[in-house]
A and B are shown apart, each in its own frame.
Chain A
Amino acid sequence: MVTITFLVTLVGTLFLIAGIDVFMYKQSFFISIYKLFAEDQGTNEIYVDSALVVGFILALIVDFRIHKNKRSKES
């Protein structure tokens, strides 16, 4: 559930950011989304990309632990 929540929140927030860009800069929604994922030259976006991957892995670990605890309680 934590992983699903992580993904839904991420998608929701990215859609919100893209929506704001559509409103502010009068560009299409798909271009806004593309710009979000395009790696800008000379920036260090790779750091936050890595942080996001770590966040996703942590969400998977938490889910695995919840599942394990549930199974050990049942048995």
Chain B
Amino acid sequence: MSKSLVEKISLWQLAVLIFIFEIGSVAVVGVGNESKQDAWLAVAIATGIGICLISFYMFLLKKLPGKNIFEIFTFCFGKWFGKVISFLYVLYFVYIASRVLRDFGELITTVIFETTPIEVVMITMMMVICYMLYLGLEVFGRTAEVFLPYVFSFILLIGIAILLSGEMEFENLQPVLAEGFGPIMKHIFPKLLTFPFGELVAFLVIIPAVTHFDKAGKVSGFAVLVSGFIIMYQKFIAIVTLGPEQLDRTVFPLLSAAREISLLQFIERVDLVIVFIVMFGIITKVSVFFYAGLKGLEHLVNLPYRYFVFPIAAIICYCSVQISANYAEHIEEGLKFIPFYMHVPFQILLPIAITPLLIWKGKKQQRGTDKHGSV
């Protein structure tokens, strides 16, 4: 018998989680760099498609209210095949959590703790995440709520500070659409769409736990829109400060842009503020994927997910080191393999594949209920 507790988060907490989740690792590695000076435009278009994607996910969840993606798989494919698909999703979530944790480890060991082993940084971060998730989804939601004002205001202030430092060159934005929409669209699908917007597939586990489920669709869409604007803003800052050529060569674009800040010969080295934003973004992102994986295991073996928190955290730590030998390899895999062979199937193809089954089985169940109700 399942001993899972009922955990609920508010609509505001859901919006905050989506917002911080979206800007999480985007602030580390940047997105749409291939679109050069039109990257902000690519992000704007991808945001529109991202809103359509989250609306599609909501459509799936509304077919079986209160059920998460794993329960939907069991409903669609039956007990055993549903469990196989669920297990594949668990592996996907654990693997992506490891990748995000690695992003953070690389940033910290490059920028702040240069002599600290990356393994120590990642284990420490994972311990914080473990503690937060062990206390539950509600604590996770409240933590995100507490840190939101800092994350939001720091991002806005970074742009203003660079502007006041006189480091922005707006000519860097030109020429706009020099090669037309073609190259931009090529970068949007699948790379920009799957990272960061498609990763919202992990919220198919969290959204059913929202108090006012009927309003979750609108709130999620709005949160994706706001986060899209913030990513655009970040991209805009990076382009006008660094220029498209330097942007392409920089490993951590927003961080490099923030290093240009020098106000009154007093306010300098504010890149630590970026590290704070990234740190909280990564905590949220790893936690969401980790929680999604844990809920998957809860569904698979019918035991409360808290039992798995520490063991699976150890696997995430271990895999974050094993996924690649160095940062260059990590980024190469992230650009050449992950979007095409992992993100697209798990974020888009499988959810599309279950849609007709879900509609058909939902109607069948409805007919059965009506029949029994009328007798």
Give A residues with C-beta under 8 Å from B.
1-2, 5-6, 8-10, 12-14, 16-17, 20, 23-24, 36, 40, 43-45, 47-49, 51-52, 54-56, 58-59, 62, 66
Judging by beta carbons under 8 Å apart, are A45 and B314 in contact?
Answer: no
Judging by beta carbons under 8 Å apart, are A6 and B311 in contact?
Answer: yes
| Count of inter-chain pairs, beta carbons less than 8 A | 101
Between-chain CB contacts (< 8 Å), 30 pairs: A2-B311, A5-B297, A5-B300, A6-B315, A9-B90, A9-B94, A9-B297, A9-B315, A12-B87, A12-B90, A12-B91, A13-B98, A13-B315, A16-B95, A17-B322, A20-B323, A20-B337, A36-B322, A44-B119, A48-B123, A48-B322, A49-B318, A51-B314, A54-B314, A55-B310, A56-B314, A58-B314, A59-B311, A66-B303, A66-B307
Identify B303's interface contact among A2, A23, A36, A44, CB under 8 A: A2
Residue of B nearest to A60 (CB): B311
Residues of B300-333 whose CB lies within 8 A of A:
300-301, 303, 307-308, 310-315, 317-323, 325, 332-333
Identify B91's interface contact among A2, A9, A40, A55, CB under 8 A: A9
Output the least CB separation between A23 and chain B (Å): 6
Identify A56's interface contact among B122, B123, B311, B332, CB under 8 A: B311
Given contacts A5-B301, A13-B319, A51-B318, contact A58 B91 (CB under 8 A): no
Give B residues with C-beta under 8 Å from A.
87, 90-91, 94-95, 98, 117-120, 122-123, 297, 300-301, 303, 307-308, 310-315, 317-323, 325, 332-333, 336-337, 341
Residues of A within 8 A of B322 (CB): 14, 17, 36, 48
Residues of B within 8 A of A23 (CB): 337, 341
Identify A13's interface contact among B94, B120, B123, B308, CB under 8 A: B94
Residues of A within 8 A of B317 (CB): 48, 51-52
Bound complex: CA of A45 vs CA of B137, how far in Å? 31
Bound complex: CA of A58 vs CA of B310, how far in Å? 7
Interface centre among A8, A13, A17, A55 (most CB of B within 10 A): A13
